[in-house]
Chain A
Amino acid sequence: MKALESYFAHRGWPVLDFQREAWKAWEDGESGLIHAPTGSGKTLAAWGGPSLALLEGAGPGPRMLWLTPLRALAADTARALDRPLRFHGLEDAVGLRTGDTSAYRKKKLMERPPPALVTTPESLSVMLSYADAGQRLSRLEGVVVDEWHELVASKRGVLLQLSLARLRALNPGLRVWGLSATLGNLDEAARALMAPGVRPRIIAGRAERPVALESLLPDEVSRFPWAGRVGIRQLQRVVEAIDGAGSSLLFTNTRSQAEIWFNAISSVCPWPDRVALHHGSIDRELRDAAERGLAEGRLKCVVATSSLDLGVDFSPVDQVLQVGSPKGIARLIQRAGRSGHRPGGRARIICVPTHALEIVELAAVRERLRQGGTEARRSIRLALDVLAQHLVTIATGGGFRARAMFEEVRETDAFRELDAAAWQWVLDFVMRGGPALHAYPDFRRVVEEDGVCRVPDRRTAVRHRMNIGTITADGAMQVKFQRGGSLGSIEERFLTRLRPGDRFVFAGRILELVRIRDMTAWVRSARVRKATVPTWQGGRLPLSTLLADGMLALFQAHAEGRRPTDNPEFHAAEGLLELQRRWSALPTPHDLLVESARSRDGHHWFVFPFAGRLAHEGLAALVAWRLAQRRPVTFSITVNDYGFELLSADAVPLDERAWRDALSPDRLHDDILASMNAASMARHRFRDIARIAGLVQQGPPGRGKSLRHLQSSSGLIFDVLIDHDPGNRLLEQARREVLEAQLEIRRIDAALRRAARQRLAIHATERFSPLAFPLWADRLRARLSSEDWQARVERMLGTLERAARRPAT
């Protein structure tokens, strides 16, 4: 440890207690998890042990693996890991292998593996797919998984768990350490990295810096809109705030919002050339330019989405602004952490509410920051698509024995509950395409010879390697200027609805579509100012349970005449809460609010379970379906984070008894499947599953043509499976993912169980209450259709024809 201390002394840093604790734990052969905020010395806490080992003895590598979720971060990380080693005279000890690494470099890395390797989960999987993987990775002593909180709840995390199990099988003494930001379930997250039975050592770094929350509260809340998502009316104050600081980061929740805010700011501010845009669909080079511009002080403001939530060496800015509610505490803390790294200083964040109820959300954020605690992130269970991919990966590499592999897979947290039948199905799927394919000798992906499962066909192996990973790129189309220059990518669904000549906003510019060819949208700059803004799938997170419950607690406080101290947001929102209480009632942890109202549109029922947007989608469909079982009625549905609306043409009188039945937690699973257009949702969900399980193949860029005869849409494959292999477990998985990930059935279940204990406050209102209004304004009719597709087509054509017959005005 002397070596580490001298390095710290050389850099002028004190050795922190948690760093010393982590070094010691490594030396003792332990595995575990270190949690601390970004920029607090976590990296060197985890790297101390491995670097000492590397300094002590030479030997062929790789001996240490450092896994990072973003390949863009890998180069920065490799430099940071290299420094202490170089200081002690160990040169070129840290290599870098990601999807961006050239084939030549990868070959060099294979020939002379460096002692330590920085890589991504996908790249590790690719390494495991080479025939001599077992031998090459047999000298591994330790693995560090950086930013584990980003991976733990995703399929990338599942893939990583499987790879770790493989590495442990190769190296029984392997040490595994995770690095994470604060999570609500650190123990659970840590265990997902460990072998079964290993108690992870949890090491806490410096606590998160306290977050100083400030809100741009409107002067007169009564005039503030009750609904909306963009909040652009706060533009002037936002521009002033940016003007008053050296550098700012403005976070939005969606890419569309980022495009809108970027355009708005640059058209009214006095420094339009010093604003840049950064989001996940924008080309890497443009994003890098924005990051550099901010670091070098050339830019005054970068408008960003979660694309900037990560990044080790990203230099801190003077202030961070957040447009709209952060929807979760973890996200707020992470974003606030991007502001000024003054030692002992506070992380400052200025929140910009976009409508009145978001002020209450911010009040709940403030209370929660005071109490401490953040959201949990749970690892995904039994993702058979990922398992199928992993099995082919290992079969492509050294091969596996079925029995031993079953045991190995079951050692992961993600597949602890894998039973023999499901295992046999996946094995069958990769070997014979599934039970339905037994009669087809032409399918040979994985073949068992002398008890070892291998991929015998070289082309199959090459194609598989190109398709490793769980991030789906399909559905995104490149956007390029005709005269050259790439801008990024937009979802195909948006682009294919445009016609040549149509204008849209992207990467902060107004573009005109010239044509679509070779999966690329060719564009040129447009001179007009008006254009549509693309929407991206899956941009919006639902309000976290922690914050939703926080809001209910604040409503209760108001109902009881209490007033939390030092909560300016609450004070600002009191008028609104009072209005809600007078016109109707306030929902609380003990009272489920149900409102009814009449309008020109028809008869409205509003229900406010505060379970988040996704769960409300399922809840609304469930309740509508149950009510329709009593008597025929058609509802149109609207949902938001607070509740849902059922609108019908005729009055549907419902008493407490009827509501209790409709909100019963019994038979939830069956009823929700019956109520939703589950087939069509599952078909959509199947996109990723088909890609991950190898049913849809992606070629490398530029080589798409040679693989064209093998390309097919996942929807088509879904239909074929439904018709000819209905027992396919990947179909079942798609349905399960719809329930678990898309509708958050756990939250639905919890909301119904809570409702069963709550008092029902049923109120008929004269006009829309402050809680009901946003639902009314935000009407997005959900698809509630139990008809078959023929009937749906007939109905849609009928509607379109009626609309076409209507005289033009």
Chain B
Amino acid sequence: MNVELAGNRLQLRPDRTAWWPRRRMLLVADLHLGKDQVFRSAGVAIPGGVLDAELRALADAVDASGAERLVVLGDLVHAAPGEERAWTRRLGEWRRARSELGIGVVLGNHDRGLAPWLAEWRMENLGAVLELDGLRLCHDVDLDRPPPGLSGHVHPAVRLQAAGDALRVPAFARRGDHVILPSFGRFTGGFQGLDPREWQMLAVAGRGVRAVPGSGTSASNRDPDQDAGG
């Protein structure tokens, strides 16, 4: 699904990423890498394989888009990396196998202690915000007054209920010129609490991204494309 944010055309993709063709840039948010290991260390029996599946999905998303640059909108990791942690080593290996890809990381609330590791992995530390072509790319925003741009942090999800069935799926959430990405990590929860009048929910629906009818209907949030197209 294509959206226009402050004059920039972006594509919201069913692999939970946003693709910015003019910049050849792929945006993802909230990977929470290493979360399964944090759980295991605390005695919660989460099986292995989560991290590998996550990294594979990330590689697939990069390859599918043909991106030259990957920007992570915060929460790349769930807890501080460490030499002794298997997931830290795996992430390092993954990075070395893709040294030609430019990677920048906006820091999120989980990214404490990440800075030295970004240097080690040759990833660009973008600090709290990256300003680009009038868009603010950051981890979290004031949900009542989101600026033009993209963010993460919220892990938006939406509950669909129709035709005798119900299911919760991850979603992009749009308000005016701002889009919140769904969490990329599969082992992260979803949040259904965004005000559906203010936020248009764009559900990740298998092969496509589709607007959830009835969401984002408040007057301040008309999508000019849809108004024109009828």
Contact = CB atoms under 8 A, between A and B. Distances in A.
A495 B40 CA distance: 32
Contact of B163 (A496, A695, A795): A795
A716 interface: yes
A803 B213 CA distance: 9
A434 B47 contact: yes
B125 interface: no
B122 interface: no
Given A694-B43, A697-B44, A793-B203, 7 more contacts: A433-B45, A440-B48, A442-B41, A695-B46, A716-B188, A725-B47, A800-B160
Interface in A364-397: none
B144 interface: no
Interface in A750-769: none
B83 interface: no
B53 A724 contact: yes
B125 to A, nearest CB: 23
A457 interface: yes
Nearest to A516: B193
A712 B45 CA distance: 12
A295 interface: no
A796 interface: yes
- Of A436, A697, A721, A724, chain B has the most CB atoms within 10 Å of the CB of A724
A636 B49 CA distance: 39
Given A793-B167, A796-B162, A439 B47 contact: no
B161 A796 contact: yes
B88 to A, nearest CB: 12
A442 B37 contact: yes
25 contacts: A433-B40, A434-B45, A437-B47, A437-B48, A442-B40, A442-B41, A443-B40, A443-B41, A457-B43, A460-B42, A463-B42, A696-B44, A716-B187, A716-B188, A724-B47, A724-B49, A725-B47, A789-B169, A795-B165, A796-B166, A797-B203, A797-B210, A797-B212, A797-B213, A800-B160
A192 B186 CA distance: 43
A496 B191 CA distance: 10
A695 B205 CA distance: 29
A457 B44 CA distance: 13
A449 interface: no
A699 to B, nearest CB: 12
Contact of B214 (A464, A695, A720, A800): A800
Nearest to B41: A442
A437 B45 contact: yes
Contacts, number: 141
B215 to A, nearest CB: 10
Contacts of A460: 42-43
B4 to A, nearest CB: 22
Given A496-B193, A789-B206, A796-B167, A463 B43 contact: yes
A796 B39 contact: no
Interface residues of A, number: 57
Contact of B213 (A442, A497, A717, A801): A801
A273 interface: no
B38 A790 contact: no
A710 interface: yes
A153 to B, nearest CB: 28
A789 B167 contact: yes
Contacts of A717: 46
B47 A728 contact: yes
A516 B193 CA distance: 9
Contacts of A728: 47
Interface in B142-197: 159-167, 169, 186-189, 192-193, 195-196
Contacts of B165: 783, 785, 792, 795-796
Contact of A716 (B38, B189, B195, B213): B189
Interface residues of B, number: 46
Contact of A723 (B39, B53, B212): B53
A669 interface: no
Interface in A710-764: 710, 712-713, 716-717, 719-721, 723-725, 728
A429 to B, nearest CB: 6
Contacts of A454: none
Nearest to A496: B192
B54 to A, nearest CB: 11
Given A443-B41, A463-B43, A724 B48 contact: yes
B68 to A, nearest CB: 30
Contacts of B159: 497
B30 interface: no
Interface string A456-472: 01011001100000000
A721 B47 contact: yes
A499 interface: yes
B36 interface: yes
Contacts of A784: 164
A91 interface: no
Contact of B50 (A463, A724, A785): A724
A799 interface: yes
B86 interface: yes
Contact of B40 (A437, A785, A794): A437
A712 B189 contact: yes
Contacts of A496: 192-193
B219 to A, nearest CB: 16
Interface string B12-43: 00000000000000000000000011111111
A782 interface: yes
Interface string B38-71: 1111111111111001000000000000000000
Contact of B46 (A433, A636, A781, A790): A433
Contacts of A442: 37, 40-41, 85-86
Nearest to A388: B45
Contact of A436 (B41, B49, B161): B49
Contacts of A785: 165
Nearest to A794: B205
A783 B86 contact: no
Contact of B189 (A457, A636, A713): A713
A451 B213 CA distance: 61
A781 B164 contact: yes
Contact of A720 (B50, B85, B193): B50
A804 interface: yes
Contacts of A709: 38, 78-79
Contacts of B48: 436-437, 439-440, 724
A717 B84 CA distance: 25
B207 interface: yes
Contacts of A694: 43-45
B161 A804 contact: no
A783 B164 contact: yes
B162 A799 contact: yes
